[in-house]
Structure 1
Amino acid sequence: MTLYHFGNCFALVYAPYHMAYKFSGISEYATFSKCVYAGGLYIFTQLCKMLLLATFFPDSDSNQVVGEYDAFFEILKATVDFADLLGLYFALNSIPGKGHAKILTAAIGWASAEVLVTRSVPLWVGARGSEFDWRYIRSCAESNVALLQHASTAALVWLWTRSDLPRKHSPAVLTLLALTPYRSLIEEAIASILSLSAWALLALRAIHATALGLTSLAIYAVLAQQIGM
């Protein structure tokens, strides 16, 4: 039963990533090495973020009173996540091909590295336990939502780099990019105000990621039609 539970969690986490790579068409471009490169950029970016947090926000947990939430301090910490946009920018510039291939390759490589770094060890240690726990299923579902979020963010970064982006869409792209580092804070704030459970928060994140993905796709479709991609 333990192995069965771990196998289910493993499939729920990694199968969507494999399917996204296999059936999106980017595998035909021999982009596996570029996915690995994007994953390497993710790890490098996280190390840089850790260095920035350690430099400018030292001992942040011990400096806060237990039970006290400093919103301004959390916003400042979240601002460091702008480094993710820079990392995705470099990943996109390193990938040849059409726009959709760049976006999907960077997003899948970036998200795959994230899930390997943040989910693999907890699943290996926890999901193989003697008792079934829904939190591991929820964690696996969150990784799938993260893939959609990273694909949307990569699309927005790619759109921002385009000089032929229609001027009427530029404010929307810039606004969504500016809010990207604070996405988790906004979602958690809404969950706190509405007293949402962990599963309800996951549903909120899925709805948010879907709305962001559809918006990015709509802007991308307009640009692709305009330039004949």
Structure 2
Amino acid sequence: MGLFYLANCLALAAGPYVLVYRCSGMKENDAFWKCFKYGMLYGLMQMLKFFLATLIPHDVDTSPKNVFYMDIMSVILDLVFIYSIAYRASSRNEFNLLVACMGWSTAALVSTKFVPIWFGTKGVEFNAIYLCLSYEANLEMLLTFVQFYALWLLIHKQGSFSNCSVVLFILTCASMRQMLFSFIDRVMQSIFQALLSKTVIAFVLGTFVLSLKRTMKLDKVNKTPWITATWKSLSDLIHPLWTQHIVPALGLKPVRENRASLATNAKRHN
């Protein structure tokens, strides 16, 4: 009976991954080894985290504030690796980004979900905790796709300032999902209520990313740095307000009108 329960948990956890791999055209394009390479990159990132963890003194303060800062550093390291992958995929087609998402999420599934399920379900006939853990693996895949595609949209930067702000908020929520899910587990009394809340969050973020992907222009990659592009969008938003309200109130003339008047005066003198 325990073996049957283990098979059910593994099927629930890995089934959607197999469906995405087969239905997205990866099998026809021989993308298995590419997914394996991105999975190895995920393993390299985890080894780097382990190495950095050995540099922390053993008598460090483990208060919630310091633990939060450590989690932030882990999120930043994840974003650095994912940004390098998404930036490389942005110069190619979208299929490479899909392969990167699949390889990254599959490696996360094997390292964070398969091991607890494999050792936890031995000799157990039924336990709802491992079924919920298998279901959370599907949410992790969805949020990994959200994280990759949000960075991909920011790299293209073809949308408005408001769209980029929404994408940045979605990226922040998807990157800090472990802390958010831990908070939900502490607040919610029932494990099924917590699972429902996590599902709603994952599907809302995924829906927003899909809608922004349709609205934002993605025909070419903008090579301008993201901070410069955001500052330009913000200046384009403030400039009409400045010329309509601030300049008349101060009794100033716009710079363009001053230049035009100087040019006409120079022509008259000539």
Same fold by TM (over 0.5)? yes
**Which residue in 2 is equivalent to 1:197?**
190
- 1:227 paired with 2:212, answer no
**Which residue in 2 is equivalent to 1:147?**
141
Which structure ranks higher in relative contact order (CA pairs < 8 Å, sequence separation ≥ 6)? Answer: 1
Amino acid at match of 2:38: A
Q: Which stretch shifts more, 171-180 or 15-24?
A: 171-180
Amino acid at match of 1:39: G
Q: Distance in 1 between matches of 2:6 and 2:28?
A: 31
Q: CA RMSD in A?
A: 2.4
Alignment of 1:176-215 (within 5 A): 176-192=170-186, 194-215=187-208
Unaligned runs of 5+ in 2: 221-270
Q: Distance in 2 between matches of 1:188 and 1:227?
A: 38
**Which residue in 1 is equivalent to 2:57?**
58
Report the secondary structure of 1:119's partner residue.
Answer: helix
**Which residue in 2 is equivalent to 1:77?**
70
Amino acid at match of 1:209: A
Amino acid at match of 2:182: E
- 1:134 paired with 2:133, answer no
Report the secondary structure of 1:29's partner residue.
Answer: coil
Unaligned runs of 5+ in 1: 65-69
Q: Distance in 1 between matches of 2:124 and 2:168?
A: 48
Of 165, 171, 178, the residue aligned with 2:165 is 171
TM-aligned CA distance change 1:26 to 1:168, over 3 Å = farther
**Which residue in 1 is equivalent to 2:98?**
104
- Write the deviation string for residues 134-175 of structure 1: whole angstroms up to 9, x where unpaired: 211111111011000101001111111114233331112223
**Which residue in 2 is equivalent to 1:67?**
none
Report the secondary structure of 2:125's partner residue.
Answer: coil
Residue 63 of structure 1, CA deviation: 4.1
TM-aligned CA distance change 1:105 to 1:190, over 3 Å = same
- Write the deviation string for residues 197-221 of structure 1: whole angstroms up to 9, x where unpaired: 2222222111111111111111111
The percent of aligned pairs where both chains have the same amino acid is: 25
Checking the alignment, whether the CA contact within 8 Å between 2:147 and 2:175 is kept in structure 1 is: no
Q: How many residue pairs are counted as aligned between the two chains?
A: 218
TM-aligned CA distance change 1:195 to 1:135, over 3 Å = closer
Residue 179 of structure 1, CA deviation: 4.0
Checking the alignment, whether the CA contact within 8 Å between 2:39 and 2:107 is kept in structure 1 is: yes
Amino acid at match of 1:98: N
Q: Which stretch shifts more, 118-127 or 152-161?
A: 118-127
Amino acid at match of 1:153: Q
**Which residue in 1 is equivalent to 2:37?**
37
- Write the deviation string for residues 100-122 of structure 1: whole angstroms up to 9, x where unpaired: x2332122111100111122222
TM-aligned CA distance change 1:31 to 1:190, over 3 Å = same
Q: Distance in 2 between matches of 1:74 and 1:200?
A: 26
Amino acid at match of 1:59: H
Q: Distance in 2 between matches of 1:180 and 1:58?
A: 30
Q: Distance in 2 between matches of 1:40 and 1:212?
A: 27
